[in-house]
Amino acid sequence: MSNAPALRANLVCTSFNQINSKGLFVGDDPLDYSVPALLLQLSLISVFTRIIQSLLKPLGQPLIVSQILGGVILGPSIIGKNGELSSKVFPSKGRSVLDTVSVFGFMLFIFQIGVKIDLSIVLKSSRKALAVGILGFFVPFGLASFTAFLLEKFLSLDQELITLLSRVVILQSMTAYPGIACFLDELKILNSEIGRLASSSSIICDICHWTILSLKYALELAKAKSVRVTLGSLVSGALYILVIAFGIRPAILWAIRQTPEGKPVKNVYVFVVLVLLLWCGFTGEAIGLSSIVACFLFGLVIPDGPPLGSAIVEKLDCFVSVLLMPPFFTICGLQMNVFSIVRLRNVGVLQLVVLVAFIGKIMGTILPLLFWRVPLRDAFSLALIMNSKGIMELAFLNDFKKNKDTSEENYTIMLISVVVITGVISPLVKVLYDPSRRYIAYKRRTIMHSRENDELRILACIHSQENVRAVISLLQVSNPTKESHVNLVVLHLTKLSGRASSVLVAHRKRDKPSLNPTQSERIFNAFEKFGQQNNDLIMVQCYKGISPYATMHNDVCSLALEKRTTLIIVPFHKHWIFEKRIETSYAYRHLNKNVLEKAPCSIGILIVRGSTKKSRYAITVPSLYRVVVLFFGGADDREALSYAERMSGHPSVQMTLIRFTRSSSSENIVGGTERSKVLDTQILSEFNNRFLRSEQVSYQEAEVNRGADVLEVIKSLGNFYDLVMVGRRHIDSPILLQLTKRNNEDGELGVIGELLAASDIESETSVLVMQQQTRLWGLHDPEESTHLRRISL
């Protein structure tokens, strides 16, 4: 007999063509066939993942934790411990199909990430992001490497663990951009200050990681293989990059130029890209580059955002994220067996390296941020985010296990550390970091509290070209003068689509005007031309914000804070065409509510009920512009009246103030604090004294006893006025409470605003619903401030 060591292998015998079952009644076991087995596996994975997600979401756990735990429950740790059940539902012969589906899903996911990445972020990265990215990789890398060296020297470790430690050091030092992008999106801080810094820093960190990994791969390849094999691998990889960069990318740019702005990209272009994706994946496998890396590089050459990038992402996103990616995470859990952990020494060694790398990354992130005087709380939040683990770490662990670089025990230990770290970091970041905290202003930023010759700082939010005409019309009558000019910031808000990182950038004019300007350029050109026609009395700055609808308010509030804005103007989430109300996305409604809640200054919601068939860009000054203010009482009505008083200085404006009182007394019909009532009396007294003999300003009183009387007055306005102004909040009013029963919608306009925007009010008059600044540092009730300085016009 031979003395050679016996080779042990798991052999799986399976029959060919066992794809579809003929059914139980014919004697077939459906689980012996690949299609029904795959369908059952996908169903179980989806159900268990959703159940766990619904249980863990209130605890602030990200989706990746639920998906991994779903696999753990189905795997040998819990349900799969029953060998008979596991062999029927997840048999070895059926696992290859599920593994193939998961790898294919991961390939498409990484391709999507490549498409979403804007490589210009690297070139535009601030010194802060560069420092965090570089130190955030090399500090943990150095500390963890030194720790691993000491463990190897002073402890007798087996060779497998020694080999694994070098890989764990690199794994724990990396901060993968795909995982960070998903993590920030789930936390809804993608377009916050820390979110943007984390995105930029993670890309820099990724570059450091892949550079080290490439050098290590090249050295290992040179040692293990011949020079011919090494050169062949490197040359073929370089040739592949040249082909996609200088062959495929120009063709893609040509296809984008053939697509008019705002129009969907042709399906044939998407089809060609998807075929090229499959070809790139095959080529990557053929030259030893791996289909994952090849598809990621191909995704990088496709420009992010519309038209092509967003079209590809939208077509793939649901299919990949809902159907193909859950099996990838679940398989990680299926390969994990907590009962395989028998050597506590291995647990201690691996977790010590993980802990040192964790602390090192916190140090590498916090130190440069403290140098730039970032608040410690925000710096620590970013350090935790940079430590979060995601899909790329799981992919590396799976690769280690597939290549037999780690045992089942060590794989389980590392997977537990990934789940624990991510599971702890997510709720911690939610507690520590709230972007809206920084939106609290340290001084009054309202029109009412502005001094006589202060400039009026306005931030106008624009969703589309249809909003331009209405905002320009409002700005025309805002009475800019040499003593008190208007400083206008225009923010074009765009939904994040086909990109992984949010953007908030100042608009830069092209050297030569384009024959086919983008929608943003047309909007900005209209406002810049308007500013020039007003003899520089209106100074215009233009910005473009690209972010998810859920966090779009962060762009609005942060820009308002930076520009020390007095008034934010946002369009209403509905518009009218030929007297018919057209519903727009409820995302705009959510945006408006968030801005109202978190803005550092006053807000005006602009409702335009006129026909949109008129010119989009009104630049002629109207000969007569009638404004009416409905005054019930309260801080918001005072802000509306203050803005209207400023307008009354314009020669074309005729202003009317209608004060609503009870028939039995001359008091306001709303409640509020005594301080608020005093301020109401003061502002009305000053108004009467100032405009007593003015021919452009008139004062009326409307006596009402019930809600129907208020409604009658509003209907009587008809189309006589061009603009109706009213405050948003009217508290403690039994009369207005009667009108809330009439409005079934829980809108953002308040009781009177919702009435003016109601479909049964036959009017084409524009409406501006005002809310005075609500967030002021050190004051729970902003009306406690005793400072009341008015604009004299």
Ordered DSSP codes for 281-330: HHHHHHTTS-HHHHHHHHHHTSPSSTTHHHHHHHHHHHIIIIIIHHHHHH
Q: Examine the pLDDT at 766 and tell me if it is beyond 50.
A: yes
Q: Examine the pLDDT at 110 and tell me if it is beyond 80.
A: yes
How far is 729 from 32, CA to CA, in rounded Å? 66
Quote the pLDDT of residue 50.
Answer: 87
Quote the pLDDT of residue 791.
Answer: 37
Residue bearing tokens 């496709």 = 302
Q: What is the pLDDT of residues 601-655, one digit of tens each?
A: 999 999 987 654 454 554 556 678 899 999 988 889 999 999 999 998 888 899 9
Quote the pLDDT of residue 666.
Answer: 58
Quote the pLDDT of residue 22.
Answer: 74
Tokens of 388: 């979060």
Nearest Cα to Cα of residue 461 among 644, 588, 561, 583: 588
Residue 596's pLDDT band, with cuts at 50, 70 and 90, is very high
Q: Examine the pLDDT at 78 and tell me if it is beyond 90.
A: no
Q: Which range (127-136, 187-196, 457-466) has the least confidence?
A: 187-196
Q: What is the pLDDT of residues 380-404, one digit of tens each?
A: 999 999 999 888 888 888 888 888 8
Quote the pLDDT of residue 693.
Answer: 78
How far is 789 from 449, CA to CA, in rounded Å? 5
What average pLDDT does range 414-419 have in this prediction?
90
Quote the pLDDT of residue 533.
Answer: 84
Quote the pLDDT of residue 565.
Answer: 92
What average pLDDT does range 271-280 have in this prediction?
93
Which span out of 112-126, 207-221, 571-585, 596-610 was modeled with the highest average pLDDT?
A: 596-610
Residues 6+ apart with CB under 8 A from 233: 221, 287, 288
Amino acid (one-letter) located at 192: S
Residues 6+ apart with CB under 8 A from 726: 629, 630, 632, 637, 640, 750, 752, 753, 756, 767, 768, 769, 770
Q: Examine the pLDDT at 718 and tell me if it is beyond 50.
A: yes
Quote the pLDDT of residue 4.
Answer: 40
Quote the pLDDT of residue 788.
Answer: 42
How far is 180 from 390, CA to CA, in rounded Å? 8
Residues 6+ apart with CB under 8 A from 513: none
Q: pTM (2 decimals)?
A: 0.81
Residues 6+ apart with CB under 8 A from 113: 177, 178, 181, 296, 299, 500
Nearest Cα to Cα of residue 193 among 133, 115, 128, 117: 128
Residues in the chain: 793
Quote the pLDDT of residue 440.
Answer: 76
Q: What is the pLDDT of residues 515-534, one digit of tens each?
A: 777 888 889 989 988 888 88
What average pLDDT does range 20-40 have in this prediction?
77
What are the distances in angstroms from CA 207 to CA 122, 137, 165, 204, 730?
10, 10, 21, 5, 55
Mean per-residue pLDDT of the chain: 83
What are the distances in angstroms from CA 316 to CA 67, 165, 274, 327?
20, 37, 10, 16
What average pLDDT does range 727-732 have in this prediction?
85
Quote the pLDDT of residue 613.
Answer: 46
Quote the pLDDT of residue 667.
Answer: 62
**Residues above pLDDT 70, as percent of the chain:** 89
Quote the pLDDT of residue 3.
Answer: 43
How far is 579 from 586, CA to CA, in rounded Å? 20
Question: Which residue did the predictor score with more confidence, 529 or 792?
Answer: 529
How far is 225 from 707, CA to CA, in rounded Å? 87
Residue 781's pLDDT band, with cuts at 50, 70 and 90, is low
Residue 761: what are its φ and ψ, rounded to 5°? -90, 105
Quote the pLDDT of residue 57.
Answer: 86
Quote the pLDDT of residue 778.
Answer: 61
What average pLDDT does range 551-580 have in this prediction?
84
Neighbours of 759 (CB within 10 A): 11
Question: Which residue did the predictor score with more confidence, 139 or 81?
Answer: 139
What average pLDDT does range 422-432 have in this prediction?
91
Residue 485's pLDDT band, with cuts at 50, 70 and 90, is confident
Tokens of 233: 């691998």
What average pLDDT does range 657-669 have in this prediction?
76
Quote the pLDDT of residue 768.
Answer: 94
Q: Examine the pLDDT at 359 and tell me if it is beyond 50.
A: yes
Quote the pLDDT of residue 421.
Answer: 92
What average pLDDT does range 84-93 have in this prediction?
73
Check residue 536 and give left, alpha or beta (phi > 0: left; psi -120 to 50: alpha): left
Q: Examine the pLDDT at 451 and tell me if it is beyond 90.
A: no
Q: Pairing state of beta strands 653-662 and 697-704?
A: parallel
Q: Examine the pLDDT at 13 and tell me if it is beyond 60.
A: no
Quote the pLDDT of residue 318.
Answer: 82
Q: Examine the pLDDT at 263 and tell me if it is beyond 80.
A: no
Q: What is the pLDDT of residues 489-512, one digit of tens each?
A: 999 999 887 777 788 888 887 777
